[in-house]
Structure 1
């Protein structure tokens, strides 16, 4: 029988239950089969659905009965206040980028690409193959599957200039996503109570990872062209920090891409201070008008700890990242990862490796660049037309976001609230600053769903700003 038959039975039984007292016994399966002219399988499916919803309860050998309504008793968890004490680091609430909006909303807030931009066919096929492989029952090595380690190393080696030793597969650690990698790096390379330099604004997950590790995040101002190297040098000198977290390619949220000269100057500063640069290459697969060139490819002295995630480009369900580190730093991060998670699911590693080694992966990335360009340009033009008081310092050459400056007098919470009331979800820029925001900003994602609604989203934003 069809699902329509099951739905018809459920609707009929709900009407019967509504008029029956708690504990009433339902007619037998045979009687229901006759009443609804349905098969026993369809009737049982309907009964199971209602039982799962808490409407019915089955008593084997006795029958099926209307479940009595239980009055919820409030629980008192007050004792936990004394047991837990005050938190050392109070985390802020859920970041706007992780919110799940209503289906009909115009979602300009997300940090992830739309499903239409993912290699869904490749991912589904990879999961099917992984399910038939040894990965379902075998424990993978703590540092990752050797073939996946080799793939991450080769990706970085492809950018390594002559005269620089490329990374080896053994320099790679496979981690359960870049967020886990950042947490491990801050714990193992910085440590609680010590300073780390962080671009401002920057990826909100990095500031949270630092806070959770007890690290003192020292903001270094950075803009569409990256940080001021002189200011960076002074920050190292002033704080004694030995770690800098940065995104040289298509930074989240600003979209900044460092020039070659700036990258060389930052590397020189890091080396002179005997420090590490944690390079988050989150947007490696999202180049549009330019291809990312990792700074780690120009360093073989172990100063750059390189992090590349596949979660956004392959699938949110494939939380796999590669971290490249050399020398004792790698061993410290590995020891931390073993303590936290022991190893990454072999199935997820097998799926990630399968996807990125298929010839169709390259084809997908070429198409992805074209789609991202079209979406980015559509949103930029819509903002210019419908929200002309906003300011975009530069159109990013890659990544997923626009970093939009609003007029100085803007009441940002009001604008965000009015946009959401009109069905447009936007991300307030203050969430990307490790210290106080330097002005009212929005981070808008042009890789989200329903790009055809971008002009309407810009109109809503423009009206909200005009009312201010």
Structure 2
């Protein structure tokens, strides 16, 4: 009843306001109460609603008045062109993988696993426990919580061969996701105007971070077996680069894993040129048919700068990762991190440490491995049967994605648009190339969408390709 009275008053006064001049005094609460047979409280609710609609304004001690309506005109941002100047690069700041889509769509574009593949119970319990500690109200050290530094260092040291000096907790910096680490490395270690070797194709976010830092990208062709070590040697010699960004394990987007011989050959090349290998171990916890085999444990003199993120395996809400570097490179990177973000939330660090040190963490990783295997194989079989035009060169041994090559001459942008119009979202492969694409590709994520709809999605993709 009260709600009905409020609505009646709002409707009646809206009509009255439409005919009243701007600045006209609105009838008093007593007058409106009598007119509508409503209580003063109901009248006040109606006035607050009119105020929220921008129709009236209250002047304390004076009364309520019809708001003067400003003429509406389109905003003019043209002045910013001169103030900002030309952009430093032409790369879009938002990848197709970051797009929000309709809940009804089949999203094969995302870069993240579905919630059911995350340790949800462990995360919620860890956050609750962390909120009750001093981490919730104190500043964390710039390099990270010592216990979390030690955990990351121990994880890497466990893979170190005998006789190699393993990384220590002091070598480890806790960062807010590996993306922020890449930005700092490119600024502090490579520098603007300097060349950086980079696999092609490779992670689009690394290219974006490098270009934002003013780094000059030097592509090195790479595939399911990684780059040819001779190509890496030649690229170092011809470019004068002093760093190589690479994903030796379960690369995004190809899913490729370097053979041990390639890892050792590239490391020797890096040493010979007095350079750095920036090793992005983003999918360390996402092995399916193999475990991640980092190169960093085989380096005992600071040539490898190592990144490992928990964003994909623990939770995207816990933007916690680690960067391992030695010598002056570590100090430069730490200085850059401190200047940009001061420190990573101690609350998030404490929660992440809680999760990965729980007995259930290893159990969760074993279960996720089997779930990823089932999803990968289901999507692969669906594509092979219903979209045979999309060629997938190899079964990825880990990670989250299938890398599909489309028939020569295919208009990838049109395929992406047509798939989306039919309810399937795929990521165009052009985003993963630092230079011209070597062919028409799309990336298909098997970890984010509902696997029961993979056959439907592959049928739509096959239908679109059949119309090309």
Report if TM-score (shorter chain) is over 0.5: yes
Q: Determine helix, strand or coil for the equivalent of 1:409.
A: coil
Q: Distance in 2 between matches of 1:45 and 1:160?
A: 69
Equivalent position of 1:298 in the other structure: 298
* TM-superposition CA deviations, 1:55-97 (whole Å, max 9, x none): 8877778999997865533333333222222223333252101
Contact 1:202 1:433 in 2 (8 A): yes
Query: In the alignment, what sits opposite 2:361?
Result: 361
Please name the residue that 2:200 is paired with.
200
Asked if the contact 1:225–1:259 (Cα under 8 Å) also holds between the matched residues in 2, the reply is yes
Shift of residue 21 of structure 1?
3.4
Describe the superposition over 1:311-345 as per-residue Cα deviations: whole angstroms up to 9, x where unpaired: 12221121111000111111111111111111111
Task: Find the counterpart in structure 2 of residue 395 from structure 1.
Answer: 395
Q: Is the 8 A contact 1:26 1:65 kept in 2?
A: no
- For residues 383-438 of structure 1, the C-alpha deviation after alignment (integer angstroms, 9 at most, x for no partner) is 01110111110010110000000000212111111001001111000000000001
TM-score (norm 1): 0.90
- Partner-residue secondary structure (3-state), 1:343: coil
Report what 1:136 is aligned to. 136
> Which residue is 2:119 aligned to?
119
Give distance in 2, aligned partners of 1:55 and 1:457: 49
How far apart are residue 198 of structure 1 and its match?
Answer: 0.1
Aligned to 1:163: 163
Asked whether the 8 Å contact 1:288–1:369 carries over to 2, the reply is: yes
User: What is the distance in 2 between the residues matched to 1:26 and 1:184?
Assistant: 62
Residues 1:21 and 2:42 aligned together: no
Match of 1:252 in 2: 252
- Structure 1 residues 85-143: Cα deviation after superposition (integer angstroms, max 9, x where no partner): 22233332521011011111110001111122122222222222222221122111111
**What is the distance in 1 between the residues matched to 2:85 and 2:424?**
39
Q: Relative to 1, partners in 2 of residues 1:348 and 1:69: Cα closer, same or farther, differing over 3 Å?
A: farther
Which shows bigger deviation, 122-131 or 191-200?
A: 122-131
Contact 2:51 2:57 survives alignment (8 Å): yes
Q: Structure 1 runs of 4+ off > 4 angstroms?
A: 5-20, 22-28, 34-37, 42-71
Q: Give the 3-state SS of the residue equivalent to 1:222 in structure 2.
A: strand
Change in 2 beyond 3 A, CA 1:195/1:124: same
In structure 2, the CA distance between the partners of 1:432 and 1:122, relative to structure 1 (3 Å rule), is same
CA separation of 1:126 and 1:413: change in aligned 2, threshold 3 A: same
Q: Bigger shift: 277-286 or 70-79?
A: 70-79
Query: What is the alpha-carbon distance in structure 1 between the residues aligned to residue 180 and residue 355 of structure 2?
Result: 22
1:447 aligned onto 2:447: yes
Distance 1:329 1:232 in 2: 22
Work out the CA distance in 2 between the residues paired with 1:96 and 1:21: 46
- 1:298 Cα deviation (Å)? 1.2
Q: Say yes or no: does 1:287 pair with 2:283.
A: no
Question: What runs of 5+ residues in structure 2 fail to find an aligned partner?
Answer: 19-24
Contact 1:177/1:311 (8 A) holds in 2:
yes
Gaps (5+ residues) in structure 1?
Answer: none
Between stretches 360-369 and 10-19, larger displacement belongs to: 10-19
Identify which range, 16-25 or 274-283, moves more after superposition.
16-25
